[in-house]
Amino acid sequence: MTQIPSPETLQRMASVVGPQGMLSAEADKAPYLKEWRGLWTGETPIVLRPQSTDEVSRLLTIAHDTETVIVPQSGNTGLVGGQIPNNGEVLLSLDRMTRIINVDATDFTLTTEAGATLKSIQDAAESVDRLFPLSLASEGTCRIGGNLSTNAGGLNVLAYGNTRDLCLGLEVVLADGRVLNMLKTLRKDNTGYDLKNMFIGAEGTLGIITAASLKLVPRPRRYDTILVAVPNPAAALDLLSAARDASGNRVLAFELIPEIGVQFTVKHMHTRRAVETLAPWYVLFEMADVAEGVADTVLEAALESGSVLDGVTAQSETQRRELWALRENMSESQKFEGGSIKHDVSVPVSKLPQFIAEATTAVETFMPGVRVCCFGHMGDGNMHFNVSQPIGMDKQAYLAKWHAMNRVVHDIVMKLDGSFSAEHGIGILKREDMQRYKSAIELDVMRSLKHVLDPKNILSPGRVLP
Amino acid sequence: MTQIPSPETLQRMASVVGPQGMLSAEADKAPYLKEWRGLWTGETPIVLRPQSTDEVSRLLTIAHDTETVIVPQSGNTGLVGGQIPNNGEVLLSLDRMTRIINVDATDFTLTTEAGATLKSIQDAAESVDRLFPLSLASEGTCRIGGNLSTNAGGLNVLAYGNTRDLCLGLEVVLADGRVLNMLKTLRKDNTGYDLKNMFIGAEGTLGIITAASLKLVPRPRRYDTILVAVPNPAAALDLLSAARDASGNRVLAFELIPEIGVQFTVKHMHTRRAVETLAPWYVLFEMADVAEGVADTVLEAALESGSVLDGVTAQSETQRRELWALRENMSESQKFEGGSIKHDVSVPVSKLPQFIAEATTAVETFMPGVRVCCFGHMGDGNMHFNVSQPIGMDKQAYLAKWHAMNRVVHDIVMKLDGSFSAEHGIGILKREDMQRYKSAIELDVMRSLKHVLDPKNILSPGRVLP
């Protein structure tokens, strides 16, 4: 258990950030201590809110000196518990470091402090007629430092990659307070080891990201947004290949949706059922800047081959929004159906049909009456394999089966050369999976890295590594 | 200086690979010991040519045990000397590990041993109607392990990224012989620290890449290939922004070419001068799968605004090849003009005009009479700023100024937040630049990584780190 920092240590830290930069009253700290799905609630002696990289550096120098544990927090939208401090862990929030330092339309780059919300970065890019293509449900609240630290994915990975792929440079404060400035905006730079990517996806355990340079792309001028009914996931894969090919790789998103998910959103979120044909599965996909007629050609060929049963194309931005609402309301709608045990997994794209079939059978065997709502980023092989409780079962009794059901699903995922955490990371939720599924050599190299960069184990200890 | 391995050690290593897997006669070793531009010639007691990851693992176990220095070599096309062994260093070539393990059109992935040539990988992708988009001059000879170890760039980085961006998974043999198997083909996998990217671009100094999983993309169905005359680099940048925007980010390549480069290729390579208008600069750019008419619209707008003076569009694959020949012959043509001092540098795209102007003035001041031939990947901010000797000067006397001239150019590059090695890496050629231009903190973290992964310093010592 972490030692509570001494009053002297807390006083030294407080003097770095000043009265405006710290919170110690319970009511003020509360919003930082509650995970938004309600799975974790933490405690901390103090919330530190530095205003500059220099302040972060001075805080970590003190922490290193005094062996005080620091838990960095970004927008507090993480789904694996890593951002919630416990016991004596000091919370360090970057929510006052929100300045967008530079936007350059010619360079297609943006440089920002780590506390800027994803939405503010998207807006800054749009203000110079560019797109920052990272897009996910929490974009109004999450902050880029957290997106980077968890290598966030989201809706448009198929076209633009994960957050890692969108990052050109980083500024990181190391565990001992030294500042590693790698804030370049270069497309090519082969000068020594790639330090940047060590910190991306490390969930704040190797250093604290304080600023980043990001790639921008041209803003799409025209979208084709299409919802289709398909007979099965294999047919959806045929459609994906055909669409990628015909569009010259301009498929931005390709989302699989199950009939039960449509029922949930229609019932609870009052979303309109946009395709009349009832089918076991649907796909919502979007292409950008392809020539007029390409979408129709793809759709007609798919209808003819039978890989698509019916389809509707958005004829306006309003209709486009309406189609997307069906997908975007999917997570929220499940809350009305009682407990939901989540799996954020990926497999090679070609193995998705096998994964869905095997995992569905396995959880239905594990607990008869569960309702599988498997949806998500088919183009990336990434499914949110969510399992709603049997109707009438006690919610807490159901959620108590979380890890046991995870085991059933993750064993299948790993058999298929997949990942037990595609997007959300490890945090504290999936540490045991790391132990079970990662090779001893991988874990050993990861521990060596942690030891080199944080020898006193003061940055979010107990997260990521088992 | 490296110790010559004992006969016993060499015997142990030889017994791992067998008689077919080793070369010890001088004539047999010679092709592995000469760098192709003629800047370095090395020596080695033995060339080891293992046939499997297991053999590599056993060789490194012996090397670690006996503190024998190993220099891995791929296609021997590197430009910074890292692949050439000296004194007692044992050369380990992967040129017998050329098997393409799997190609999957549905997954858009390819898994291969590290010794496969880039060309064989491109061909394997094409055989299933996919594209592996890495493309560079030495593609018939270079091998993917070397491409990964140097994070190779090439012609289509603007659209598809560097080799790093095209890699999904790696198998690496560590310095102590342990095998780190991370051969996944997943698009999303956030399970712990990103170990893969440490080895990409590490030039074989942290581990030996033995296999890789790679991303494929749809094959372009249609190209627009255009050569234009432009009044200056700033005008070329305007054209780049306009083309990226109008094409929906489908500009694959955007290459700047100077008039002197055209003169060299016309004179020595008998390339046809495809644009009649004489201008100080030209741009060869290519877009893929954009709608008919987009290229004409871009070109007409640029002619009207004055950012383009004249232009020619390829009307057939033959013409396309002819336009590309102009660019592809640029390096070779300089050989006929005597010594050429090379700079492989990048700056933020928007600063390219300033860089070209300042660096040209600086080298002309440094040595009157030099002829700057600056060309390359403008879309990535990456210029090959090559400087041909004054006419009539002694070649060796000129080349003796290599490092001194580098210093002049690299100082300007770094002032503009650029990179002194955009594509080619560090090897032994640019170690002093690492010392001069990298921060002490960066170097310190890099050295820590090296020490953790190769504590006995047996993998290509003296490369990358100063």
pLDDT tens per residue across span A451-464: 999 999 999 999 99
pLDDT at B37: 82
Q: For chain A, what is the radius of gyration of the CA atoms?
A: 23
pLDDT at A2: 65
Q: Is B14 exposed, middle or buried (0-12, 13-18, 19+ CB in 10 A)?
A: middle
Q: Rounded to a whole number, what is the distance in Å from the CA of B180 to chain A's nearest CA?
A: 6
Contact list, A452 vs chain B (CB under 8 Å):
448-449, 452
Q: How far is CA B430 from CA A409, B91, B123, in A?
A: 50, 21, 34
Average pLDDT over residues B362-380: 97
Contact A445/B106, CB-based, under 8 Å?
A: no
Scanning the structure block, which residue is given the tokens 């005080």?
A: A68
Q: What is the identity of the amino acid at B8?
A: E
Distance of alpha carbon B432 from alpha carbon B22, whole angstroms: 34
Which tokens belong to A399?
């959620």
Q: Is there a contact between A71 and A33 (Cβ–Cβ < 8 Å)?
A: no
B163-212: per-residue pLDDT in tens? 999 999 999 999 999 999 999 999 999 999 999 999 999 999 999 999 99
Contact B158/A187, CB-based, under 8 Å?
A: yes
Q: Is there a contact between B351 and B288 (Cβ–Cβ < 8 Å)?
A: no
Q: What is the identity of the amino acid at B341?
A: I
Q: What is the identity of the amino acid at B282?
A: Y
Q: Is there a contact between A430 and A452 (Cβ–Cβ < 8 Å)?
A: no
Residue B113, CB-side half-sphere exposure with 13 Å CA sphere: 18
Q: How far is CA A433 from CA A374, A404, A423, B191, B257, in A?
A: 21, 11, 15, 9, 53
Q: What is the identity of the amino acid at B149?
A: S
Q: What is the DSSP letter of A25?
A: S
Contact A191/B433, CB-based, under 8 Å?
A: yes
Residue A284, CB-side half-sphere exposure with 13 Å CA sphere: 26
Q: Which residue of B has its CA nearest to A380?
A: B187
Contact list, A197 vs chain B (CB under 8 Å):
194, 197-198
Provide the sign of the torsion angle of the four alpha carbons B137, B138, B144, B150, taken in this order: negative
Q: Is B441 exposed, middle or buried (0-12, 13-18, 19+ CB in 10 A)?
A: middle
From the list A187, A292, A449, which residue is nearest B157 (CB)? A187
Q: Is A222 exposed, middle or buried (0-12, 13-18, 19+ CB in 10 A)?
A: exposed
Provide the sign of the torsion angle of the four alpha carbons B420, B426, B431, B434, taken in this order: positive
Contact list, B189 vs chain A (CB under 8 Å):
346, 419, 421-422
Closest Cα to residue B104, out of B29, B187, B213? B213
Q: Rounded to a whole number, what is the distance in Å from the CA of B419 to chain A's nearest CA?
A: 6
From the list B157, B180, B441, which residue is nearest A441 (CB)? B180
Distance of alpha carbon B47 from alpha carbon B22, whole angstroms: 6
Helices (H) and strands (E) in chain A, counts: 17, 19
pLDDT at A1: 54
Contact list, A297 vs chain B (CB under 8 Å):
none
Which tokens belong to B55?
């053999």
Distance of alpha carbon A113 from alpha carbon B176, whole angstroms: 40
Q: How far is CA A80 from CA A36, A85, A428, B72, in A?
A: 11, 13, 6, 40
3-state secondary structure B422-460: CCCCCCCCCHHHHHHHCCHHHHHHHHHHHHHHCCCCCEC
Contact A423/B190, CB-based, under 8 Å?
A: yes
Length of chain A in terms of residues written? 466
Q: Rounded to a whole number, what is the distance in Å from the CA of B265 to chain A's nearest CA?
A: 27
Give the A:B interface size as CB pairs under 8 Å: 270
Distance of alpha carbon A233 from alpha carbon A235, whole angstroms: 5
Which tokens belong to B443?
């170097």
**pTM for this model (two decimals):** 0.96
Contact A381/B442, CB-based, under 8 Å?
A: no
From the list B248, B434, B438, which residue is nearest A250 (CB)? B248
Q: Rounded to a whole number, what is the distance in Å from the CA of B160 to chain A's nearest CA?
A: 10
Scanning the structure block, which residue is given the tokens 């009539």?
A: B392
Q: Hey, how many other C-beta atoms are within 10 angstroms of the C-beta on B267?
A: 12
Q: What are the pLDDT tens digits along chain A (466 aa)?
A: 568 899 999 999 999 999 999 999 999 999 999 998 888 999 999 999 999 999 999 999 999 999 999 999 999 999 999 999 998 999 999 999 999 999 999 999 999 999 999 999 999 999 999 999 999 989 999 999 999 999 999 889 999 999 999 999 999 999 999 999 999 999 999 999 999 999 999 999 999 999 999 999 999 999 999 999 999 999 999 999 999 999 999 999 999 999 999 999 999 998 888 898 999 999 999 999 999 899 999 999 999 999 999 999 999 999 999 999 999 888 889 999 999 999 999 999 999 999 999 999 999 999 999 999 999 999 999 999 999 999 999 999 999 999 999 999 999 999 999 999 999 999 999 999 999 999 999 999 999 999 999 999 999 999 999 9
Q: Rounded to a whole number, what is the distance in Å from the CA of B426 to chain A's nearest CA?
A: 6
Q: Is there a contact between B403 and B349 (Cβ–Cβ < 8 Å)?
A: no
The string of DSSP codes covering A406-436 is HHHHHHHHHHTT-BS-SSS--TTTTHHHHHH
Closest Cα to residue A223, out of B246, B350, B248? B248
H or E element, residue A356: helix A352-366
Contact B192/A464, CB-based, under 8 Å?
A: yes
A contact test, residue of B181, B191, B205, B351 with most A CBs within 10 A: B191
Distance of alpha carbon A251 from alpha carbon A224, whole angstroms: 9
Contact list, B464 vs chain A (CB under 8 Å):
192-193
The crossing angle, in degrees rounded to 10, of helices A259-269 and A317-328 is 100
The yes-or-no verdict on residue B140 having pLDDT over 90 is yes
Q: What is the DSSP letter of B290?
A: P
Average pLDDT over residues B14-31: 97
Distance of alpha carbon B444 from alpha carbon B424, whole angstroms: 22
Span of A20-24, B124-128, B331-335 with lowest mean pLDDT? B331-335
Which tokens belong to A374?
């498997």
Contact A465/B192, CB-based, under 8 Å?
A: yes
Length of chain B in terms of residues written? 466
The pLDDT-based confidence of B87 (bands split at 50, 70, 90) is confident
Provide the sign of the torsion angle of the four alpha carbons B231, B234, B239, B240, taken in this order: positive
Scanning the structure block, which residue is given the tokens 């919330």?
A: A47
Distance of alpha carbon A82 from alpha carbon A80, whole angstroms: 6
Contact list, A428 vs chain B (CB under 8 Å):
none
B423-455: per-residue pLDDT in tens? 999 999 999 999 999 999 999 999 999 999 999
A353-369: per-residue pLDDT in tens? 999 999 999 999 999 99
Provide the sign of the torsion angle of the four alpha carbons B293, B295, B298, B302, taken in this order: negative
The pLDDT-based confidence of B1 (bands split at 50, 70, 90) is low
Q: Is A108 exposed, middle or buried (0-12, 13-18, 19+ CB in 10 A)?
A: buried
Closest Cα to residue A208, out of A184, A165, A178? A178
Q: How far is CA A279 from CA A169, A233, A357, A439, B432, in A?
A: 46, 11, 16, 41, 65
Q: Is there a contact between A406 and A341 (Cβ–Cβ < 8 Å)?
A: yes
The yes-or-no verdict on residue B407 having pLDDT over 60 is yes
